[in-house]
Amino acid sequence: MSISQRLPAAIAALVILVTALLSACGFQLRGSVELPAVLKSTLLQAGDPWEGVAAALRIELESSGARITTQADEATAILRLDNERSQRRVLSVGRGGKASEYELFEEVTFSLQDNRGRVLLEPQTLRLTRDLVFDENQLLGKVSEIDELRNQMRRSLARQIITRIRTSLQAHEPAAP
83: closest CA among 107, 104, 105, 48? 107
Instruction: Please return the burial class of 162, using the count of CB atoms within 10 Å of its CB with bins 0-12, 13-18 and 19+.
Output: buried
Task: Output phi, psi for 115, to 5 deg.
Answer: -70, -10
Tell me what pLDDT residue 176 has: 45
Other Cβ atoms closer than 10 A to 98: 10
**Per CATH, which fold does 28-172 belong to?**
Double Stranded RNA Binding Domain (3.30.160)
**Count of H-run helices and E-run strands, the chain:** 3, 5
Other Cβ atoms closer than 10 A to 153: 21
Residues of the chain with pLDDT under 70: 1-7, 10, 20-33, 136-142, 172-177
Tell me which DSSP letter residue 173 carries: S
What are the residue ranges spanned by the domains of the chain? 28-172
Tell me what pLDDT residue 152 has: 95
Tell me what pLDDT residue 28 has: 47
